[in-house]
Structures are given as C-alpha cells and as structure tokens.
C-alpha cells in the first residue's frame, strides 16, 4: 500500500462511502449515559419506569442483539433477547451473546440504584454456560447481591422459554462520577 493509498483511506471513525456505521456504538461525542435525574422528579418516580429501551439505550449493543427490558427496579431487572441472530455457526446461542445479556441486565440493575451523580461501569464479569439453546428467547433476571456507595454486585440467571436455566453470571460494577 502506497503513502497515497493510506492518505486516501477513510479514517477509522468514518465508515467508507455507502456503508452504514455499525449500530453497536453510539455516535462519537454523545454521552453513553443520561444526565442524572433529580430525585423526586416525575421522571425518577417508579411510575415513570416502563418496559423497553430508554432513548439513550437505542443504537447500542442492546439494539443490535434485540434486547428488551421487560422490568426495571432496584431489586430486580428482567431483560429478554431473541436467540435468532445471536448464534454460533452450529446453531446454538453464542456464549458471547449470553455474556452480553448478563452484563446488560446487571448494568441496567446497577443504574437503578446508582448514587446520585454516578453511573456504573462493569469491572468484573463471570459467566457459566449451562445448557445450549437453539431457538426462541432467553430471559435474564438480575438481582442485587451487594449495593454500596462505590460498587455493586448483581447475580443474573438466564433461562430459556421453558424456564430452564441456561446460564448464570455475576457482574461487579464500579460507580464513577458523571462528567
């Protein structure tokens, strides 16, 4: 490759002409987390919490894998994901997709109890794959094991449409200051 070819190549931040940017990554320069919601405001009330993805969760890996937040709360978060489109070449759910589902459910849970002015960042993820899944949906349920001022640990159980446990995992999150 000549120096002219290198200079003419698009930068890694920009996709080649006519190619869409991957949706798994937010647009450069946007904040991956929302501004903190003031305590007691209408949008922080439990009645304002609803199923689905928040606007700031759109265009992330959650969208790419078709994840849907079914339930959000301080003591329990439920996230559902289709198996189709997240399989290995042999037709079973990819372990990386299970790990992404576990980390997502635990991260959503950690955000629900984050101290004011902080956001959680995953620091340590452990995953055990227990049974293969070929079709349908998998559902992750995240519950807190520890919720502190600087860290949180959530345990996540992933089950198939028949309610069989297919994976388990834990995520330790560190709360970092916004800004």
Catalytic residues: 103
Q: What is the dihedral of CA 132, 137, 138, 139, to 10 degrees?
A: -160
The residue with tokens 């190549």 is 9
Calpha distance 93→134 (Å, rounded): 6
Cα 132 to Cα 30, 60, 156, distances in angstroms: 37, 25, 17
Q: Quick one: how many helices (H) and strands (E) in the chain?
A: 3, 6
């Amino acid at each position: 490759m000549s120096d002219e070819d290198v200079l003419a190549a698009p930068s890694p931040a920009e996709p080649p002409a006519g190619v869409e940017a991957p949706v798994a990554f937010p647009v450069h320069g946007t904040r991956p987390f929302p501004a903190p919601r003031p305590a007691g405001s209408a949008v922080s009330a439990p009645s304002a919490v609803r199923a689905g993805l928040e606007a700031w969760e759109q265009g992330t890996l959650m969208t790419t894998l078709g994840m849907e937040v079914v339930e959000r709360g301080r003591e329990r978060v439920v996230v559902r994901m289709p198996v189709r489109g997240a399989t290995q070449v042999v037709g079973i759910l990819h372990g990386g997709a299970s790990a992404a589902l576990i980390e997502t459910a635990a991260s959503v849970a950690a955000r629900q109890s984050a101290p004011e002015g902080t956001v959680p960042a995953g620091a340590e993820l452990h995953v055990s794959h227990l049974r293969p899944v070929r079709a349908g949906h998998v559902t992750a349920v995240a519950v807190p094991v520890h919720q502190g001022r600087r860290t949180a640990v959530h345990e996540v159980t992933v089950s198939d449409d028949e309610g069989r446990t297919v994976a388990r995992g834990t995520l330790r999150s560190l709360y970092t200051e916004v800004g």
